[in-house]
Amino acid sequence: MSPERKLWLARGSCFLQVGCLGQLFVYEAVHMMEQGISGTTVGILLALGSALFIVASPFWGWFADRFHIYRRLIAFGTIGMSGTLFLFARADSIAEFAVYVVLRGFLVSSIMGVMPALVLHNLPQDSQGKGFGSYRSFGSIGFMAATMVLPVFLPTVGGISVLAAILLPLSLIFVFGLDQPERRDEPKASDKKRRLSPILYWFLAATFLIGLTEPAINGFYNSFGRSLGAPLEWIGFISGLNGFIGFICLPLLGRWIDSRGAQIFLVLGYLAQCLRLLTASLIVAPEWLWIPNLFHSFGWAGREVATMVFISMIVPREKRATAISLSISVKMGGMMVGAFLMGRLSDLYGYPVMFRTVACMAVFSLVFLFYVFHLQKKQG
């Protein structure tokens, strides 16, 4: 099979996977609160889902490598998540939502954690960056379709989730067209003893703090929009705008980062996150909800790409997978803590105070980031 055909198979899988699963992270807090669940409880439930993702993701990665069953493991997670989507659509109690977040945290990581390894194996060695960026961009298209188009025809979260549950298994048609990665050689004993640079651990601290702010721009921002009277279609459009911005900016900022360096774009990304949250705290009418999302360009797309490039700079090649896995887990840890904190803040003080408090945490993360750059410069 030609590399171009394999890339199209990867694109098709990403379109359906992100389109069907990405809408969960947009609508799950909205759906829970519309069923009468308090903000504090929603925060706890979302934090539980994040905690399970943190634990399960490295396990699934090890399991896939150990038993060489990448496609079957993705199929297991896909079928399981299809059933979980049906459960989410009909859930209306804390107990049912608790079962949902447990299944979601456990199963979705078997797709999102293993799929990149399968895709990278099917891309030519000399164009993996370009190919992977193209693969991810089709996820943005799927996300836009799910959040901007579906609410027009299905005005309830339950209806959207049922359709996603039906469409998600179709992604396996594309997944099983991809080749399995070859079995890896055991790492050398000398490689096992090598330690990661202290710079990475300080960068992980910055990653934790900036990750802590993420729930504010996803689930809680959508709930804030609903509290202002925004209809579900408008919430979907606002979320879909993020997908459009990501689709445009991921390849564009990736090229800029290659030519200008990752550090400046990390700073711009962290600052953009802070400004996004401060701007959100000033919104008083639903028609202005789109304005903070303009910061998604540098605040998410630029920051995500710059993070991967920067990690590649500060760790040896044979440790990059370990470092990237750590960064994902640490970011999810920050999101878990942030979800609980924001649930409490939104209940006690309201959304504007919550956004401003979290914005201060984004500023504080810059302190760690600049210290990372200082250590990097000192090390030469």
Percent of the chain at pLDDT exceeding 70: 91
Instruction: Decide which of 167 and 68 is more confident.
Output: 167
Q: Residue 273's domain is classified under what CATH number?
A: 1.20.1250.20
User: Mind listing the pLDDT tens digit for each residue in 157-192?
Assistant: 888 899 999 999 999 999 999 988 666 555 554 444
Same-domain pairing of 242 and 333: yes
Q: What is the domain range of residue 341?
A: 196-380
Max avg pLDDT among 207-216, 257-266, 318-327: 207-216
**Window from 13-17, 87-91, 254-258, 274-278 with minimum mean pLDDT:** 254-258
pLDDT > 60? residue 8:
yes
- 189 lies in some domain: no
| Number of domains composing the chain | 2
User: Of 137, 152, 178, which one is at a domain's C-terminal end?
Assistant: 178
Q: Is residue 37 part of a domain?
A: yes
Give the domain-ending residue among 146, 178, 210: 178
30 and 128 inside one domain: yes
**354: in domain:** yes
Domain identity same for 228 and 268? yes
As a whole-number percent, the residues of the chain with pLDDT over 90 amount to 37
Co-location of 44 and 137 in the same domain: yes
pTM: 0.71
Question: Which band of pLDDT confidence, cut at 50, 70 and 90, is reported for residue 320?
Answer: low
pLDDT in tens, 196-218: 688 989 999 999 999 999 988 87
**Does residue 31 fall inside a structural domain?**
yes
Q: What is the mean pLDDT of residues 127-144?
A: 73
Report the 3 state secondary structure along the chain.
CCHHHHHHHHHHHHHHHHHHHHHHHHHHHHHHHHCCCCHHHHHHHHHHHHHHHHHHHHHHHHHHHHHCCHHHHHHHHHHHHHHHHHHHHHCCCHHHHHHHHHHHHHHHHHHHCCHHHHHHHCCCHHHHHHHHHHHHHHHHHHHHHHHHHHHHHCCCHHHHHHHHHHHHHHHHHHHCCCCCCCCCCCCCHHHHHCCCCHHHHHHHHHHHHHHHCHHHHCHHHHHHHHHCCCCHHHHHHHHHHHHHHHHHHHHHHHHHHHHHCHHHHHHHHHHHHHHHHHHHCCCCCHHHCCHHHHHHHHHHHHHHHHHHHHHHHHCCHHHHHHHHHHHHHHHHHHHHHHHHHHHHHHHHHCHHHHHHHHHHHHHHHHHHHHHHHHHHHHHC
For the chain, give the mean pLDDT. Answer: 84
Report if residue 183 sits inside a domain.
no
